Amino acid sequence: MIVQTHQQALETLRQSGFVFDDKIEWASQDIFSAQFTLPKIASKQTALARALVRRFTSGSAILLIEEFDIWESAQNLFLYSKISQIAIQSQEVVVIHDFPAYLSTPSKGNDDADYLEALFAISLYFCWGVLLCSLSPRIMMRTTNDEVMYVCAEDSIIIQEIQEITGNFGLQEISLGVTPGSITNRL
């Protein structure tokens, strides 16, 4: 797993064909989208992180932490830094302000997926806003500190699979269903 700055992560996304503006909003109208409430129970957050990461990030993927320190009493930066150190195999402390992004590659096998899953789960526990992107196929999942997940993909079948996964956890879909470009200005 490779740790990246915010700008490096954006450049990696651009090189992978994502087109977005300064707010990291997916600028294409040829996408399908949905939005869901996130689970409030840690066991469901863990299982959701596992299901989404395992199903949709088998190739290269990026996890970019965008919102943190919103609820300082609900986060543990020590836990985050220890998992980050293990993920990037470094003794150096990872400063979230400087390196908020993680690039996983399929060449690392399941190790990267395990770390990506752990980092995504932690972001759900702490109500952090993160962007989780699969580089192929192109999928963007954005969580917010308001406990909502926005999803965009170029294929409606992927959105339907995510609807099935979230439905298995009893999560409520809060969008109007699978429609092209319905939340292009959120991602």
Burial class (CB in 10 A: 0-12, 13-18, 19+), 147: middle
Low-confidence ranges of the chain (pLDDT < 50): 178-187
- Kindly give, in sequence order, each residue whose CB lies less than 8 Å from that of residue 27, ignoring residues fewer than 6 positions away: 19, 20, 21, 184
Specify the pLDDT at position 160. Answer: 92
The answer to whether 62 touches 103, Cβ cutoff 8 Å, is yes
Specify the pLDDT at position 46. Answer: 94
Domains of the chain by residue range? 2-180
Specify the pLDDT at position 161. Answer: 93
CA dist., res. 35 & res. 143, Å (int): 10
Q: Which of 121, 151, 143 is nearest to 44 (CA)?
A: 121
Q: What is the pTM of this model?
A: 0.83
